[in-house]
Amino acid sequence: MKRIDRFILTFTLLIIPAITVVAQDSGKQNPELGAVYSLGDQTLSINGGLFVPLFFQEFTGAVHVTNLTPGGVGSLQWNTYLKRNITLGIEVGGVFAFSPNFNMLLLLPITVKASYIFTYFPFDFPVFLGTGIDIAKYQDNIHVDFMLKPGFSTYWRYNTSWSFGVNTVYWWILQPATGNQPKDEGRMGNFLEISLSALYHF
Amino acid sequence: MKRVKIELFFIAATAVLTMFIYSCTDSSSPIFYTLENEKQVVDTSLDNSLSVHSFVTDGTNYYAAAGSIFYRSVQAGSQTWNKVTSSGVSDASGTTMLCNKLVEFNGKYYAAFISQDGNTHGLYSTDSLGSSITWTKATYEEISDKQITNIIVVNGNLLAVRLESTNPGTYYLYYSSDGASFTEATALSEGPVPIIDAAYDNASSEYWVMTENKLFKGSDLSGLTETASPTAPPEGFGGIIYSADFSKLFVSTQNGIIYGSDDNGAAWSQVGDTAKVSDKSVPFGGFAKIDNSTIFVATKGYGFYIITGGTVISRFTNSTISGLYNAVINSFYVDSSANLGTVFICTSGSGLWSNATPNDDTAWKWE
């Protein structure tokens, strides 16, 4: 396995327990919580919004334009509370954007997501990291890549069941050269998601 | 509670690890790199959904036969296509017939026309092209007022394929060295099988004529005889060309195989590997010489393939221009006058494509 791959593997395996540990140590705060959620509580959310292609980057550092138009993003997310301010969940989504010749790029990310939630009633401010795979399809080509999705959200608690909010998520997709491809054709995709959410607690 | 958290963590870690391992196993083209290098195709005014059958130039304009005939100037930067006004080719109702073949032969231009209802047709010619063209019907009885399905120019001969539309129909081949009087190639009364291509082997001074399932050859067009090799696959043949650069005769098939012979068809060997896309054999069509080391091969639905050095075949690589990458290609035209070496590709339903530097996959222009 390549050096970069080993680094990513190690980073991935470390990041989730690290978040969990940090979260466990900092859970005592905020006297005005409104409804308090705990282990076993779950949420479902639906998200949709704007997908902004930022830039592609070679593994050696050189930066290139994506040539993509802004696109659309949508996703479904399930989370479960481990503590009142820590959740772990799964997110499945889809993205489309267009090339200069109006060919459609499709991205299908499937990620595991860990969140730490700061609460200032009636607002929640989750800070999260998602990690998993992204299935990219363009013309006849399909690529399965590793991805990270750090981000933060702002939710307003409408009532004990429903919250509504805004997400800002950075997408970092690693697409190294594989097989017989020249090494310098590997790229890291950098994108930004700005989306709205409706979140249901149950 | 602690145990549940540990279990959830391990489930998540396992899922992420599995995803990561599988993410490293793909070997298709790098998508981000492809996007980064995609160029917007220059598009001139010709309708991109046209089915263009054939193409010629008179040195002043280019002409595309796509039912109607369209023209634009050969000058660099010319972007505007206009419709030619044709006279002398009206059907019984006075409607201008459709042109489905157009070739240049001995300084004149020959076209096959057919009415929209299919009842009126024939071979026509004109001395000069332009924004308006006056056509003259061929006077030779066996060609005049007949349905012409193909016109081929080979070694100073004009070949016309006539379809006699009695059920199930019969194709006849006629040839002419002056464009005025024609002779039937009697060996090719081929029943319902169309005559699709012809070539001349300069080294052996022999003509080759191809139907969809047979090959004929002979030292003159009146004495063609059927050859047994290579045997047509069930899907049929696609096209034939003789390359003086490689001293080789090439035959394409509808099942992804191209054969080559350097001894005038005595022995054939497969050129390169069988062309397949998603495990489906590529149906090849006709050929075109691009330069001394490159031959293009048309396909039906997969753009074109390239024969390099006479031995290697590979698919045109620029998948970002899907209109050409997935095109059904009717014919090629290589300009040997005004814009030397510029290649035009006539497609079925994807308009007309051109490239002044045809070895550059990114330089294609959608006319």
pLDDT in tens, A120-174: 888 999 999 999 999 999 987 899 999 999 999 999 999 888 999 999 999 999 9
Residue B20 has a pLDDT of 53
Interface with A, mutate which of B32, B36, B325, B326 (most A CBs under 10 A): B32
Residue B295 has a pLDDT of 97
- Check whether A92 has a pLDDT greater than 80: yes
Cβ-based neighbours of A67, under 8 Å, separated by 6 or more: A99, A100, B35, B36, B38
Q: What is the mean pLDDT of residues B336-340?
A: 83
Confidence band (pLDDT; 50, 70, 90) for B19? low
* % of chain B exceeding 70 in pLDDT: 92
- Check whether B184 has a pLDDT greater than 50: yes
Higher pLDDT, B258 or A28: B258
Residue B13 has a pLDDT of 58
Chain B neighbors of A145, CB-CB under 8 A: 23, 26
Which range has the worst mean pLDDT, A26-35, A114-123, A135-144, B52-61?
A26-35
Residue A32 has a pLDDT of 53
Which range has the worst mean pLDDT, B15-24, B110-119, B175-184, B213-222?
B15-24
- Check whether B6 has a pLDDT greater than 60: no
Give pairs for A64-69: CB < 8 Å, separation 24+: A64/A187, A64/B36, A65/B36, A66/A189, A66/B32, A66/B35, A66/B36, A67/A99, A67/A100, A67/B35, A67/B36, A67/B38, A68/A97, A68/A98, A68/A99, A68/A105, A68/B35, A69/A97, A69/A98, A69/A99
B228-252: burial string, b at 16+ Cβ within 10 Å, e else: eebebeebbbbbbbbbeebebbbbb
Residue of B nearest to A65 (CA): B36
Higher pLDDT, A18 or B293: B293
- Check whether A19 has a pLDDT greater than 60: no
- Check whether A105 has a pLDDT greater than 70: yes
Q: In this complex, do B8 and A140 lie within 8 Å of one another by their Cβ atoms?
A: no
Residue B258 CA to residue A192 CA, distance in Å, equals: 48
Residue B38 near chain A (CB below 8 Å): yes
Residue B71 has a pLDDT of 97
Residue A21 has a pLDDT of 38
Domains and CATH numbers, chain A: 3-201 (2.40.160.20)
Q: In this complex, do B4 and A12 lie within 8 Å of one another by their Cβ atoms?
A: no
- Check whether A51 has a pLDDT greater than 60: yes
Residue A28 has a pLDDT of 38
Of A17, A20, A144, nearest to B23 by CB-CB distance is: A144
Residue of A nearest to B14 (CA): A13
Q: In this complex, do B35 and A185 lie within 8 Å of one another by their Cβ atoms?
A: no
Chain B neighbors of A174, CB-CB under 8 A: 23
Residue B4 has a pLDDT of 54
Residue B17 near chain A (CB below 8 Å): yes
Of A8, A138, A179, nearest to B31 by CB-CB distance is: A138
Q: What is the mean pLDDT of residues B251-269?
A: 94
* % of chain B exceeding 90 in pLDDT: 67
pLDDT in tens, B269-310: 999 999 999 889 999 999 999 999 999 999 999 999 999 999
- Check whether B51 has a pLDDT greater than 50: yes
Confidence band (pLDDT; 50, 70, 90) for A26? very low
Beginning with the edge strand found earlier in the chain, give each strand of the sheet holding B248-253 in spatial order.
B237-243, B248-253, B258-261, B269-270
Q: What is the mean pLDDT of residues B81-107?
A: 92
Residue A33 has a pLDDT of 53
Q: What is the mean pLDDT of residues A53-67?
A: 95
- Check whether A4 has a pLDDT greater than 90: no
Alpha-carbon gap: A49 to the closest alpha carbon of chain B (Å): 22
How high is the ipTM of this complex? 0.80
Confidence band (pLDDT; 50, 70, 90) for B18? low
Residue A68 CA to residue A105 CA, distance in Å, equals: 8
Residue A7 has a pLDDT of 45
B336-348: burial string, b at 16+ Cβ within 10 Å, e else: eebbeebbbbbbe
Residue B143 has a pLDDT of 84
Residue of B nearest to A19 (CA): B9
Alpha-carbon gap: A157 to the closest alpha carbon of chain B (Å): 26
Higher pLDDT, A178 or B329: B329
Confidence band (pLDDT; 50, 70, 90) for B16? low
Residue B9 has a pLDDT of 57
Residue A22 has a pLDDT of 37
Q: In this complex, do A13 and B319 lie within 8 Å of one another by their Cβ atoms?
A: no
Mean residue pLDDT of chain A comes to: 84
Interface with B, mutate which of A41, A87, A138, A191 (most B CBs under 10 A): A138
Q: In this complex, do A186 and B31 lie within 8 Å of one another by their Cβ atoms?
A: no
Residue B167 has a pLDDT of 65
